Amino acid sequence: MDRVQLRLTQIFFLVLVLCVARGPNAQGLSYDFYDKTCPNVEKIIHNVVSQKLLEAPVAAAGALRIFFHDCFVEGCDASVLIASRESNKAERDAEINLSLPGDGYDVFFRAKRALELQCPGFVSCADVMAIATRDLVNLVGGPRWEVKKGRRDGLISKASRVDGNLPQVNQTIPQLISLFKSKGLSTMDMVALSGGHTIGFSHCKEFMPRIYGYNSTFDIDPTMNQEYARTLRSPCPKKHLDPTVVALNDVTTPFIFDNAYYHNLKKGLGLLASDQMLLLDPLTRGYVDMMAADQQLFFNFFVESMIKLGQVRVKTGSDASSNTVKLERDAEINLSLSGNGFDLFFRATTAVESHCPRVVSCADVVAIVPRDTGSMGPTPSVPLNARSSCTESMATSNLTWTQPWTKTMLKNDAQNDPTALTLDNAYYRNHLQKVFGPKNSGLCEFNGQRSRCVLQSLHHSHDQVGYYKGQDRERGRDHARLWII
């Protein structure tokens, strides 16, 4: 293909990309989705991922790969972040996902925690993944694009659904094209998204068949640069394979997002068999030639493909976790619950997540915090391992006592007790003196100095409340799932 013909072909495909529909058209997504609820969402995420990238340069490749794996299984719904539990093996523990890098997960969790401090309960993990991935690609030299928001987090994550939904290194180009087509992505999208291998790495087992005993005629894959293949044998010995050893996907500029990946394919430096086949198969060779010849064209293709990828089977409205359901905290009787109280729980959960990510449930946090904040009160031991509920609906908030207040009263709160900031028996003393006079009612002796009787009863009642309808492992939500949603 001569230069003029190549350039005309490039222009044709660029116009085609800009004019055709952008693959999956996700209703309900918008650029201004969080303008009122969390206007600084992108700035908050950007600050977090920038810091993470300084600590771990591999975070960009890790996040990009995890985002891709998430979108291809259940759609872009953050279900890949859900941890397994005894009754369910989640996506992230499917065999093909076991190599997904921890730094990729960590950057998403950090961004989510930062958002929970500023805008608790508003930004979905699915949107965090889409925005953080975009920023990380851009920070390592790649293009930047606008991200539509409004994705809901998925509630289903099963390892059994991963098989057949992710590309395999030994698949043929027609097989890969068919897989991408099933997700609403074209052959061009497949080649452009494969360019993401310009950053990142692969484990030895992914390319071992190419460098040892390729077939009866060749010991090394003949389409591979032979010197390059021999250098890979040193870190990846045939008989003593170390699962922790990895090789860079791009041997020239491994931490820069550019079009070197396509140049490498032309030199036989593609690491994975599926990478090298992009150049060898006539169905995809033309795209490789174009993207190798013009980095900006590759960036244009990559942006369009990432936008389409980010809209694959997204859940919006009432498809998954949704703001259209009126939650328990918004039931009328709960409208008076203090914002400072919610804030205290969010802060405690964030602190715990910093030290023990995805281990401690919010149900346990909610049990421990009131015990520790009871000023001068008792400190009962708190049984742990309560699961967080999977149901959060106003309809289940069936409190039955009479409501002695109206909405207008919420603006004019009054103290329940003259010693409102101290946990003592003054509440009972005030009522008994009003009803029975200053003498002891017989319930418990008190004289202003003694509160032990009441506090011991409170201690016992606190324990009883803590056990009330506790979620067991089958009915409740896994610790990690709580934080993700």
Q: Are strands 201-203 and 246-248 parallel, antiparallel or unpaired?
A: antiparallel
Q: Give every CB contact of residue 481 below 8 A, 6+ residues apart in sequence.
A: 82, 83, 85, 388
Nearest to 267 by CA among 259, 258, 276, 254: 276
- Contacts made by residues 454-457, CB under 8 angstroms, sequence distance 24+: 454/424, 454/425, 454/428, 455/377, 455/378, 455/423, 455/424, 455/425, 456/378
pLDDT in tens, 109-147: 999 999 999 999 999 999 999 999 999 999 999 999 999
Domains and CATH numbers, the chain: 3-200+249-309 (1.10.520.10), 421-485 (no CATH)
CB atoms within 10 A of CB 237: 13
| Dist. CA 51–CA 68, nearest whole Å | 22
| Dist. CA 320–CA 301, nearest whole Å | 31
Helices (H) and strands (E) counted in the chain, each on its own, are 18, 2
Tracing tokens 């009328």 back to the chain, one arrives at 332
Predicted confidence at residue 473, as pLDDT, reads 38
Nearest to 143 by CA among 331, 333, 296: 296
DSSP codes joined into one string, 177-244:
HHHHHHTT--HHHHHHHHGGGGS-EEEGGGTHHHHS--SSS-SS-TTS-HHHHHHHHTTS-SSS--TT
Predicted confidence at residue 6, as pLDDT, reads 52
347 touches 117 (CB < 8 A): yes
| Dist. CA 357–CA 67, nearest whole Å | 20
Binding-site residue numbers for heme b are 197
Nearest to 173 by CA among 91, 258, 286, 7: 286
CB environment 154-186: b (16+ within 10 A), e (fewer): bbebbbeebeebebebeeebeebbebbeebbbb
Segments in 414-476 forming alpha helices (H): 426-436, 452-467
Predicted confidence at residue 345, as pLDDT, reads 74
Least confident of 140-149, 304-313, 433-442: 433-442
CB atoms within 10 A of CB 406: 8
Task: Examine the residue annotation and report whether 460 is marked as an active-site residue of this protein.
Answer: no
pLDDT in tens, 139-191: 999 999 999 999 999 999 999 999 999 999 999 999 999 999 999 999 999 99
Mean pLDDT, the chain, rounded, equals 80
Across 359-368, average pLDDT: 80
| Dist. CA 315–CA 321, nearest whole Å | 9
The answer to whether the pTM exceeds 0.85 is no
Predicted confidence at residue 468, as pLDDT, reads 47
| Dist. CA 309–CA 26, nearest whole Å | 11
- Upper half-sphere CA count for residue 459 (Cβ side, 13 Å): 12
Predicted confidence at residue 195, as pLDDT, reads 98
Binding-site residue numbers for Ca(2+) are 70, 73, 75, 77, 79, 91, 198, 250, 253, 258
| Dist. CA 393–CA 380, nearest whole Å | 30
| Dist. CA 364–CA 387, nearest whole Å | 8
| Dist. CA 99–CA 254, nearest whole Å | 18
| Residue 108 banded pLDDT, cuts 50, 70, 90 | very high
Catalytic residue among 69, 263, 462, 479: 69
Binding-site residue numbers for substrate are 167
| Residue 356 banded pLDDT, cuts 50, 70, 90 | confident
| Dist. CA 223–CA 120, nearest whole Å | 53
Joined tokens for residue 69:
């794996």
Nearest to 365 by CA among 393, 379, 392, 346: 346
Binding-site residue numbers are 70, 73, 75, 77, 79, 91, 167, 197-198, 250, 253, 258
Residue type, 121: G
Predicted confidence at residue 361, as pLDDT, reads 78
| Residue 364 banded pLDDT, cuts 50, 70, 90 | confident
